[in-house]
Structure 1
Amino acid sequence: MGFTVDQSIKSFDGRLLKLSHKSEVTHTEMAVNVYLPQQYFAEGSKKLPILLYLSGLTCTPNNASEKAFFQPYANKYGFAVVYPDTSPRGANVAGEDDSWDFGTGAGFYLDATEEPWSKNYRMYTYLLKELLPLIGKEYERLDTTNISICGHSMGGYGALMLYLKNPDIFNSCSAFAPIANPSNCQWGQKCFGNYLGSDKAKWAQYDPCELIHNFKGEKKPILIHQGTADNFYRRDHQLQPENLVKAAKNSPLDGLIDLKLVDGYDHSYYFISSFVADHCAFHAKYMGLD
């Protein structure tokens, strides 16, 4: 079943579409925002690449599309931006709304194997097997063979994980303040433990610091920005991007984790919007647009 267009909003000479559809993977209604740059509407234009942007804990598709300001750079280079939701919503699983860092708004971009989560909380399969193919079917001028991936916090983790597991799908990867080693922090342990159970071998299948050792794709840099005033980084130790740099040593991506610590920035969209131009230029290069 295709998308319902709930809103179409002109923005930076392109259009932001607020879409919804019934998912056969999550068994819920799913929301997704898609930004189509001005090139999409030009006669005779070629197919446009896609940047898949994954948001963090508690976010909906609206947060980044309203506050990250990808739109002017999407127009500059000529790519679309897809903003999925962060979890199923309204699955009516007991406990899914009990805390902000687990359940609704905290799908962690994996496929849950534990009951009662395994029926609905299947964001990994949803993104790769349902959402992206549906985008390509409904918007034929978007090129689903030319996709890059980016994300923030939980979404930064998702971007790293999905890229390292699927280098045949994604051209390039970047992240803002990612949860880089979820097996080693409270947020990740809570979600992995509940969604995947106690078997740490299952956790390793989704942890970027484990996945990087067996990376099979082209050797390209991964761009990461991390603010030094981010309390989740400096105080709570939820993010740990240095662990990914260490894990990359003697891996296929040794020396290719480009971690940029930026002084004074926090975890907010003020931080993301300050460096989104860098990330868009980075991805445009690997999309063949620079």
Structure 2
Amino acid sequence: MERIERRACFGGWQDVYRHESAVLGCTMDFAVYLPPQAQERRLPVLYWLSGLTCTEQNFITKAGAQRYAAEHGVILVAPDTSPRGEDVADAEGYDLGKGAGFYLNATRQPWAAHYRMHDYVVDELPALVEANFPATDARAISGHSMGGHGALVAALRHPGRYRSVSAFSPIVAPSRVPWGEKAFAAYLGPDREAWKAYDACELVKTAQEKLPLLIDQGGDDEFLDGQLRPQLLQAAAAAAGHPLQLRMRPGYDHSYYFIASFIGEHIAHHAAALHGQAKAHAGVAHGHGESCGGH
């Protein structure tokens, strides 16, 4: 593992590391923000998953999250959104291939050789972080759009792995919207039963742990009706008795201007759970993205 960037930030360090991923079979970059408290003790970790077209850079340069991580004593880890490299399969367009890993384990060729972002995010990256940084095994997960989908799926599929979960503008029903249908057909094949393993609306029906879901969604999001459709998860969660707080934010779009406006509330929500004040509940403080392509 090699550190390739280091920037002083709010009394701590915003670093970027490069390593060889055994799970993905390629070289990967990931960002780590170490708040000032990390010089004195081990801290819990919030994992952030970004959206289509993004890398690890979008969140660390646009969200303004380091200020709140320093305030609450939380390490931030932001991986890339897909495997990278010359021998990694790719496709035309922004919504399939590199930059569009959808945080699943592909089963179809040519994708299956490298596109195993679910295992990377849930298993390999936390093991690496907890072995090499002043990090505890207290974890939370959040993300935006495709990354919001990834965060919800990771938490719902792995009870006990995360203390809290939240999302901005998540793709909650990828099996029923164009982005998800295109990606799932390519990565997983035509059998829609296999898609259910990576669809939050399906997973919430049988979730073994009722970890509360916190979602912020911009009311003027250009993808709201066509790709995101949060009301589908709201209905599925209500039917399953799964706690969900969906906060519609009038006037906000899909960009990092939106994320920057509310990331402080999300980090406070996660910090409450990560620092042992029980599992974060959906009743968090009321409050108030340029997008990375931002999808």
User: Which bracket does the TM-score occupy, shorter chain normalised?
Assistant: over 0.9
Equivalent residues of 1:34, 1:81 under 8 A apart: yes
The equivalent residue for 1:38 is 36
- Using the TM superposition, give the Cα deviation of residue 128 of structure 1 relative to its aligned residue in structure 2, in angstroms: 2.1
The alignment status of 1:152 with 2:147, answered yes or no, reads no
- Correspondence 1:180 to 2:201: no
Q: Name the aligned partner's letter for residue 142 of structure 1.
A: A
* Mapping for residues 1-290 of structure 1, pairs under 5 Å: 3-42=1-40, 45=41, 47-94=42-89, 96-139=90-133, 141-143=134-136, 145-217=137-209, 219-234=210-225, 237-253=226-242, 256-288=243-275
CA deviation digits over 1:231-282, x for unaligned, max 9? 0114xx10011100101123141xx210000010010000000000110111
Is residue 122–residue 154 contact of structure 2 (8 Å, CA) maintained in 1? no
- Residue identity opposite 1:247 in structure 2: A
Q: CA deviation at 1:284?
A: 1.1
Distance 2:104 2:212 in 1: 24
Instruction: Say which SS state the counterpart of residue 5 (structure 1) adopts.
Output: strand
Q: Offset of 1:88 from its aligned partner?
A: 0.4
CA deviation vs aligned residue, 1:73-109 (integer Å, no higher than 9, x gap):
1111101000000000115345x14110100000000
Return the offset for 1:69.
1.1
Q: Normalised by the size of structure 1, how large is the TM-score?
A: 0.93
Letter of the 1:280 counterpart: I
SS of the counterpart of 1:52? strand
What's the CA shift for 1:156?
0.4
- Ranges of 4+ aligned residues in structure 1 off by more than 3 Å: none
Q: Counterparts of 2:23 and 2:56 in 1: how far apart (Å)?
A: 18
- On the 8 A contact 1:91/1:120 being kept in 2, the answer is no
Q: Is the 8 A contact 2:163 2:273 kept in 1?
A: yes
Deviations 1:148-186 (A, max 9, x none): 000000000001110100121111110000001000000
Q: Give the Cα separation in 2 of the matches to 1:262 and 1:18.
A: 32
Q: Is the 8 A contact 1:10 1:16 kept in 2?
A: yes
Per-residue CA deviation, residues 101-146 of structure 1 (Å, 9 max, x unaligned), is: 100000000000001110100101112221110111111x201x20
Partner Cα separation in structure 2 for residue 289 and residue 264 of structure 1: 35
The separation in 2 between residues aligned to 1:23 and 1:220, in whole angstroms, is: 29
Aligned residues: 277
Identity among equivalent pairs (%): 44
**1:77–1:289 Cα contact (<8 Å) kept:** no
Query: How has the CA–CA distance of structure 1 residues 113 and 220 changed in structure 2, closer, same or farther, with 3 Å as cutoff?
Result: closer
Cα RMSD of the aligned pairs, angstroms, is: 1.2
Q: Helix, strand or coil: the match of 1:238?
A: helix
Structure 2: gaps (5+ residues): 278-295
Q: Could you list the per-position Cα deviations for residues 194-222 of structure 1 after superposition, in whole angstroms to 9, with x for gaps in the alignment?
A: 000001111001100000011111x3421
Shift of 1:288: 2.2
